[in-house]
Structure 1
Amino acid sequence: MTAARMLAVTVDCHQPDLLAEFWSAVLGSPKTRTWTDSHGLTYRQVELPGGPALLFQPVPEEKTVKNRLHLDLAPVELDQRAEVERLVMLGAKVIDDPADDPWVVLADPEGNEFCVLPPR
């Protein structure tokens, strides 16, 4: 039996260019691609080596509730606190820093939640 391969994690947003630049800097992946579908919508895609791409899809509606899917990140070179500070400087916002849990919850420039855990 053949299994499917995940091509991308798609994020609905208002500003695909802004989010692609933010996530490109967060993940240290400068390779991005822009493409337009048959309806004239322009998408931005951040290519991730060895993994699925992040695809930013323009939509007209606002984000209204907590994400049903979010990304968990672990720093590669910095400790967790330094990584959170770096992400805030890139435009993220700290949403929650629970004392009893090992993660910090942040939001990207359009309010999409993600977590930063300690290095692995």
Structure 2
Amino acid sequence: MLKIVSIVLRVNDLPAQARFWKTALDYVERDPAEDDWVILKPRDAETPCIALDAHHSERVLPPRIHLDIYAEDQAAEVRRLTELGAREVHWDGRPADADYVIMEDPEGNRFCIVDRPDWAGWDDGR
């Protein structure tokens, strides 16, 4: 059996990116950060960790992989993340009825905020 436990993002500024993702997701450090590596875990849920690897990587668009992050209140979360330094990404191919907003963190790692106010996992930690 396999289980995704951690998703690794390459970053340039580890302390700044750790602050962003900890605040964005309400995650905490699993172990003390190293100079080039930190694993952030959910404060109180059984969802995957985010590991930040301070290793320069060329940005490719469109990215081969991105995060889908579910939100109970999508508009409020997009505003909050923008205040933290994220940016909304406009894409001409996005359907008018899309349930997601494309964003990128302060270093350009892309993620989507998906409107899921009725997701059953909110109550059981999934």
- Asked whether 1:108 is paired with 2:105, we answer yes
Coordinate RMSD, CA, aligned: 1.9
- Report the counterpart of residue 3 of structure 2 in structure 1: 5
Task: Say yes or no: does 1:73 pair with 2:63.
Answer: no
In structure 1, the residue matched to 2:19 is 21
Normalised by the size of structure 2, how large is the TM-score?
0.76
CA pair 117-5 structure 1, distance change in 2 beyond 3 A? closer
Q: Which residue is equivalent to 1:45?
A: 39
Structure 1 segments of 4+ aligned residues over 6 angstroms from their partners: none
Q: Is the 8 A contact 1:66 1:113 kept in 2?
A: no
Task: Decide whether the 8 Å contact of 2:36 with 2:55 is kept in 1.
Answer: no
Q: Look up the match of 2:123.
A: none
The match for 1:91 among 82, 85, 98 is 85
What is the total number of aligned residue pairs between the two structures? Answer: 111
Identity across aligned pairs (percent)? 28
Aligned with 2:75: secondary structure?
helix
In 1: Cα distance, 2:59 partner to 2:110 partner:
11
Structure 2 unaligned residues grouped into runs of 5+:
120-126
Q: d(CA) in 1 for partners of 2:102 and 2:75?
A: 12
Quote the offset at 1:34 in angstroms.
3.5
Please, which runs of 5 or more residues in structure 1 have no aligned partner?
none
Residue of structure 1 aligned with 2:52, choices 56, 61, 73: 56
TM-score for both structures, normalised by structure 1: 0.80
Instruction: Output one character per residue of 1:51-77: Cα deviation in whole Å (capped at 9) or x when no partner.
Output: 22100001133323322111112224x
Partner Cα separation in structure 2 for residue 5 and residue 108 of structure 1? 26
